[in-house]
């Protein structure tokens, strides 16, 4: 029998952290050994024998957490945002000194969302047109959503690599007032309405046909399958892994 992976959670009392604790606790092959939040000591995690830490804290403390964990030889799955190229470079440096340790940093743990982006990147070169429609609850501060902007970028890259011509568009005059924007030439339409949670549609079109890829996320429990996938994978993946994509390709 394989032994369970021993998992600690940083930011354990935040909204995402709590969900992670519940999900780890419910998984047969994982054991929750440490729950740490603001004002508590990181060494509780090492004392408890954590093999993997899951970090949903905030950009102010995440780098300190990573430095300490890598130094201790503990692998980390990171959902905290705000990773610049400089920060990623710093993490790579720390990892270089600790060959067995893995860090996986993902902007999005929704497997459905990651598949949507992969499929969008793959479909891009076969269609003349593509636009993104993202729909969220009205308490969301930013428009377009980070996922939509990221999707637009991977589509634009795929189109550029394939030498796709500009999309056809005869619109003569444009007006202000529609929420959304254009990211690298791909239009994003941002809908905000009560009753929505988090939804995104990527619409591809060419002569006589359209292909639509749509992701609907109803609550943050939808991220847990992706977090657990990462926890299980990070021990087998020394060094830095960015995003869930490499894990989804594995199977």
Q: What angle do CA 51, 54, 55 make, to 5 degrees?
A: 135
Distance of closest approach, residue 104 Cβ to a copy of itself, in angstroms: 17
136 is catalytic: yes
Distance of closest approach, residue 55 Cβ to a copy of itself, in angstroms: 21
* Sole binder of a copy of itself in the list 68, 72, 150, 205 (CB under 8 A): 205
The single residue of 22, 67, 136, 199 carrying the catalytic annotation is 136
Nearest residue (CB) to a copy of itself, 64 versus 142: 142
- Three-state SS at 130: strand
Does 187 engage in binding with a copy of itself (CB under 8 A)?
A: yes
- 3-state secondary structure string across 44-55: HHHHCCCCEEEE
Does 192 engage in binding with a copy of itself (CB under 8 A)?
A: yes
Say how far apart CA 31 and CA 75 lie, in whole Å: 15
* Sole binder of a copy of itself in the list 111, 230, 233, 234 (CB under 8 A): 111
Q: Which residues contact 145 (CB under 8 A, 6 or more apart)?
A: 134, 136, 190, 198, 200
Count of residues engaged in binding a copy of itself, rule: CB under 8 A: 78
Tell me if 50 sits within 8 A of 6, measured CB to CB: yes
Tell me if 98 sits within 8 A of 71, measured CB to CB: yes
Q: State the Cα torsion 133-139-140-142 to the nearest 10°.
A: 100
Nearest residue (CB) to a copy of itself, 3 versus 172: 172
* Sole binder of a copy of itself in the list 44, 107, 181, 232 (CB under 8 A): 181
* Sole binder of a copy of itself in the list 69, 106, 154, 213 (CB under 8 A): 213
Distance of closest approach, residue 230 Cβ to a copy of itself, in angstroms: 13
Tell me if 127 sits within 8 A of 119, measured CB to CB: no
Single out the residue of 33, 31, 37 nearest to residue 14, CA to CA: 37
Q: What angle do CA 189, 128, 155 make, to 5 degrees?
A: 55
Has 190 been labeled as part of a binding site?
no
Tell me if 12 sits within 8 A of 38, measured CB to CB: no
* Sole binder of a copy of itself in the list 46, 108, 190, 241 (CB under 8 A): 190
Nearest residue (CB) to a copy of itself, 50 versus 227: 227
Distance of closest approach, residue 228 Cβ to a copy of itself, in angstroms: 10
* Sole binder of a copy of itself in the list 63, 115, 235, 240 (CB under 8 A): 115
Has 27 been labeled as part of a binding site?
no
98 is catalytic: no
Residues in the chain: 251
Tokens standing for residue 161: 């690599």
Single out the residue of 212, 241, 208 nearest to residue 104, CA to CA: 241
Q: Which residues are catalytic?
A: 136, 140
Annotated binding site for NAD(+): 11-16, 37, 79-81, 106-109
Residue ranges for the known binding site for (S)-2,3,4,5-tetrahydrodipicolinate are: 137, 146-147
């Amino acid at each position: 029998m394989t032994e369970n992976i021993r998992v600690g959670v940083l930011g354990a009392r935040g909204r995402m952290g709590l969900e992670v604790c519940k999900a780890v606790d419910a998984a047969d092959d994982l054991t929750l050994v440490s729950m740490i939040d603001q004002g508590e000591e990181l060494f509780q995690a090492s004392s408890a024998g954590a093999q993997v830490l899951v970090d949903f804290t905030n950009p102010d403390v995440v780098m300190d957490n990573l430095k300490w964990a890598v130094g201790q030889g503990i692998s980390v799955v990171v959902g905290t945002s705000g990773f610049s190229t400089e920060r990623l470079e710093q993490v790579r440096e720390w990892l270089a000194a600790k060959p067995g340790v893995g860090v996986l940093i993902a902007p999005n743990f929704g497997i459905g969302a990651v598949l949507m982006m992969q499929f969008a990147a793959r479909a891009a070169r076969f269609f003349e047109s593509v636009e993104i429609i993202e729909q969220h609850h009205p308490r969301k501060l930013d428009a377009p959503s980070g996922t939509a902007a990221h999707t637009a970028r991977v589509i634009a890259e795929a189109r550029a690599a394939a030498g796709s011509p500009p999309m056809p568009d005869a619109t003569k005059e444009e007006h202000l007032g529609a929420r959304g924007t254009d990211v690298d030439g791909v239009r994003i339409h941002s809908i905000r309405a009560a009753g929505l949670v988090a939804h995104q549609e990527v619409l591809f079109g060419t002569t006589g046909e359209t292909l639509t890829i749509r992701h609907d996320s109803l609550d943050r429990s939808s991220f847990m399958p992706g977090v657990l996938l990462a926890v299980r994978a990070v021990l087998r993946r020394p060094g830095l892994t960015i995003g869930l994509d490499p894990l989804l390709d594995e199977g």
